[in-house]
Structure 1
Amino acid sequence: MIRTLLPALLLASPALAEVPKVVTDIAPVQGLVASVMGDLGTPGLLIPAGASPHSHALKPSEARALQQADLIFWIGPELSPDLARKIDAIAAEGTAVALFDLPGTRHLAARSDVLFAEPGAEEGHDHGAHEDHDDHDHEDHDAEGHHHEGGDPHAWLSLDNAATWLTAITATLSEADPENAPAYAANAEAAQARLAEARATAEATLAPVKDQRFVVFHDAFQYYEDTFGLTVLGAISLSDATTPSPARLDALRDALEGAGAACVFAEPQFDPRLIAAVTEGAGTPVAELDPLGAKLEPGPGFYPALIEDMAQRIATCAAQ
C-alpha cells in the first residue's frame, strides 16, 4: 500500500540530521519543490523531460533515486500508475506525498466527449462542463476506454492548486528538517509572490485571445483553461494512453471547419502525424504547447515560467 502522509502527520516523525533527500515525479512538481528548498538542496526528477508520466517506466538510476529518497512529492497514481507501483515496492524508507490527494486541491472531472464545446455555442459554454470534486470515490472513463480514477490528474496547471501545494510542501519539509524551517518558509513566501506575478502576466497576455477557440493534442489543459477562461473545442486524444479513432478525427476536422479554431496545439511527446490528419486542408496554424515544459530551464523559477510560456504560446499562435 502506498504511504501517502499529509504534512500534519509528519509531526510524529523523527527529525532528520541533514537536509532530506527529495525526489519528484514531473518537472512542474520539481519546480515547486525547488522553489521551497532554494539553496538547501535540489530535488531529483524521476520522470525526465519529454517522457509521458502516464506511461514512463523508471530507469535503474531513477529507481535508485526513488529507493534512497526521504521525501517523495508526486501528483499521484491517477497520473503515474507505474510510479505508484514502484513507490509501493521499493521506497520502503521514504514518505510519499501525493499532491492530488491533499486537502484543498481542486479537482475537475475527466472529460469524455469528442468535443468539449460545440462550435456554435456561446462563449463560455464549455466551462459549464467543468465540475469540481473534493473526493476520489469515483472513476471517469473516456469514450476510447481509458480512465482516470479521481478525475483529471493534470491538476498542476491550476494556479490555485500550485499555491495550496507550496504550503503543503513547506510544511512537509519543515517537519522533516525543522532546523531549516525558517529558510523553507521564506523561500515559500517568495515563491507565492512569484506565482501571483505569473498569474497576472498570463492573464494580461491571454486577454486579447479570450474569444478564440483552440484544439489540443490530448486533454491535459482544462485546469489552465478554467483558470484563464479559455475555450478548447476538443482534444485529438483524451489521454496519451489511447490512439484516437477515425470518427474522433473526423469530428474534430469538422469542428475546425465549422468553428474556425485559431490554433491546434501539438505536444513534443506525441506523434505529429495525428495533428496533420486533423488540420489537413484547414489552414489552421499549429504550434507546440507542452503542459510539462520540457524545453524550460529546471529550477526554482520553472513553474511560473511554465505558466507564462504557455500563455505566450497560445497568444502568439492565435495572432497568426
Structure 2
Amino acid sequence: MHTPCIDFWCSRFAMLPKLLSLIKHCIHSQWLRQLLCILLAFTTPFANATLSSPPKVVASIKPIQLIAAAITEGVSSPEVLLPPGASPHHFALKPNHIRQVNEADLLIWVSPTLESFLPKLLSQKASQSTLKLISLPEIKLLHDQHSHEHSNTEHGNKHDEHLLDIDPHIWLGPDNALVIAQQIMLKLSDIDKERATLYRDNFVRFKNQLNKLNKTLKPQLQPDSLLPLVVFHNAYGYLEHYYNLPVVDYVSASPERMLGVKQVISLREHLKTLGKTCLFVEPQFNSAIVDNLIDGLPITIASLDPLASDIKVQGDAYILFLKQILTTVSQCRREQ
C-alpha cells in the first residue's frame, strides 16, 4: 500500500538518472563553461576581500628595495626613501620621508654608517617594525680599510661604534642578498601571517634565480681570465670577495670625495704599471678626473652603478641588477 509521501519520493528518485544525464550534458556545453568563468571572475575578488591590507614596506635605498620586491611580489610594491641618484652618505630627510618612515609597517635599512640620517628617527619607532641589516648574525661582514674617512658621520649611539670599520655595501654580496631576502620573508611572515605562504614561495623563487644566475656567470669570472680591475669608489668589496675578482685599486674611497692632485698622480703611476686594465666609473663620476687618469694609457672604461638607479622595481629586479654588474665585469677579459 502506497502513501502519497512514499509515492512522491519514489517519483523523484525515478527522475535521478535523467537529472544526472542533464547535468553531464550541461557541463560539456560551451555556454555553461562561459557562464561559470564569468561567475568565477565576479566571486574571486569577494573571496579575497577577507584578506587584510598588506603591510607597508619601506627600504632606505634602492638595492634593498629590489630585494624586498622579490619577497613582496604579488602582494605589494615596496617603497624607497632615497630618490634616484641620491647618495645615502649625505642625504637629509624631508617631511615626506619622515612620514614614510613613521607609516611603514616594516622599515628596512643597512647601517648607521651608511644611512646616518635614520638612527635618531628610528629610535622613536617600534623595533619589531624595523630591520637593521648590518646587525643580522648571518650577514658576512668585511672591514672597510678606509673607514676613518667617514669619521664625521653621526652614528646614533655608542652601541654602533664597532661598525665604523665595517664596509656597509653588504647587498653587493650574493650570499648576503640571500640572507637579507630570507630575513625580510621571516619578518613579513610574522607581521602578515595571512600571506606567509606567499612570502615563503617568493623567497624560494628568489633563491633559485640567484643560484641559476651564479651557475651561469660565475665560470666567466675566473680571476685569471680577467684584466686587472679598478673601481671608481671603494664599494665593491663584497662582490670582489664573493667572486674573487682581481680588483687592484679604486679612484676614491667615497663618490662624494674629490681627489687631490697628488692622489691623481699617484693613482696614474700605479695604472701605468698595470698595462691593460678595466676602469669602472659610476653615474656621478667626474669625467675630467677620469680623463686625466687614463690619458694615453691602455685602459677600457665601463660603467657600474652600485645603487641600481636605472633598474625597474619588479620581482626579479635584484637578479637583473646583479646580472648587469656581473655581465659588465665579465667583458673585461684578457686576450686568449
TM-score in terms of structure 1 length: 0.79
User: Which residue number in structure 1 is paired with residue 120 of structure 2?
Assistant: 85
Cα deviations across residues 176-195 of structure 1 (Å, max 9, x unaligned)?
01111111111111111111
**Equivalent position to 2:242, from 205, 227, 238:** 227
User: Which residue number in structure 1 is paired with residue 129 of structure 2?
Assistant: 95
SS in 1 for 2:247: strand
User: Which residue number in structure 1 is paired with residue 254 of structure 2?
Assistant: 239
Conserved? CA contact 1:25–1:45, under 8 Å: yes
SS in 1 for 2:254: coil
User: Which residue number in structure 2 is paired with residue 272 of structure 1?
Assistant: 287
User: Which residue number in structure 1 is paired with residue 144 of structure 2?
Assistant: 110
SS in 2 for 1:290: coil
Alignment of 1:36-75 (within 5 A): 36-75=71-110
Structure 2: runs of 5+ lacking an equivalent: 1-50, 154-162
**Equivalent position to 2:268, from 253, 267, 287:** 253
- Does 2:148 align with 1:141? yes
| 1: CA distance, partners of 2:298 / 2:194 | 59
| 2: CA distance, partners of 1:74 / 1:209 | 36
**Equivalent position to 2:66, from 31, 40, 52:** 31
Query: Which amino acid in the other structure matches residue 37 of structure 1?
Result: T
| Distance change >3 Å, CA 84–CA 33, structure 1 → 2 | same
Alignment of 1:83-232 (within 5 A): 83-88=118-123, 91=125, 95-112=129-146, 140-142=147-149, 149-207=164-222, 210-232=225-247
User: Which residue number in structure 2 is paired with residue 285 of structure 1?
Assistant: 300
Shift of the alpha carbon at 1:220? 0.5
SS in 2 for 1:78: coil
| 2: CA distance, partners of 1:276 / 1:260 | 17
Shift of the alpha carbon at 1:54? 1.3
| 2: CA distance, partners of 1:70 / 1:27 | 18
Conserved? CA contact 1:215–1:232, under 8 Å: yes
Shift of the alpha carbon at 1:164? 1.2
Query: Which amino acid in the other structure matches residue 148 of structure 2?
Result: H
Query: Which amino acid in the other structure matches residue 158 of structure 1?
Result: G
Query: Which amino acid in the other structure matches residue 99 of structure 1?
Result: L
Conserved? CA contact 1:206–1:312, under 8 Å: no
| 2: CA distance, partners of 1:245 / 1:39 | 49
Count of matched residue positions in the alignment of Structure 1 and Structure 2: 276
| 2: CA distance, partners of 1:229 / 1:308 | 16
Deviates more, 1:295-304 or 1:206-215: 206-215
Conserved? CA contact 1:19–1:40, under 8 Å: yes
| 2: CA distance, partners of 1:157 / 1:141 | 22
Query: Which amino acid in the other structure matches residue 234 of structure 1?
Result: D
Shift of the alpha carbon at 1:76? 1.8
Conserved? CA contact 2:227–2:332, under 8 Å: no
SS in 2 for 1:166: helix
Shift of the alpha carbon at 1:246? 2.4
Shift of the alpha carbon at 1:210? 4.0
Between Structure 1 and Structure 2, the one with more helix by share is 2
Shift of the alpha carbon at 1:86? 3.6
Conserved? CA contact 2:55–2:105, under 8 Å: yes
Shift of the alpha carbon at 1:243? 2.3
**Equivalent position to 2:312, from 287, 297, 302:** 297
| Distance change >3 Å, CA 275–CA 176, structure 1 → 2 | same
Cα deviations across residues 39-73 of structure 1 (Å, max 9, x unaligned)?
11111011122211212223433332222111101
Query: Which amino acid in the other structure matches residue 30 of structure 1?
Result: Q
| Distance change >3 Å, CA 238–CA 68, structure 1 → 2 | same
TM-score in terms of structure 2 length: 0.75
Structure 1: runs of 5+ lacking an equivalent: 1-15, 113-139
Shift of the alpha carbon at 1:226? 0.9
User: Which residue number in structure 2 is paired with residue 263 of structure 1?
Assistant: 278
| 2: CA distance, partners of 1:146 / 1:199 | 38
Conserved? CA contact 1:53–1:80, under 8 Å: yes
| Distance change >3 Å, CA 263–CA 38, structure 1 → 2 | same
SS in 2 for 1:292: coil
Bigger relative contact order, structure 1 or 2 (CA pairs below 8 A, ≥6 apart): 1
| Distance change >3 Å, CA 98–CA 145, structure 1 → 2 | closer
Q: Which runs of 4+ in 1 moved over 6 A?
A: 144-148
| 1: CA distance, partners of 2:165 / 2:314 | 29
| Distance change >3 Å, CA 94–CA 64, structure 1 → 2 | farther
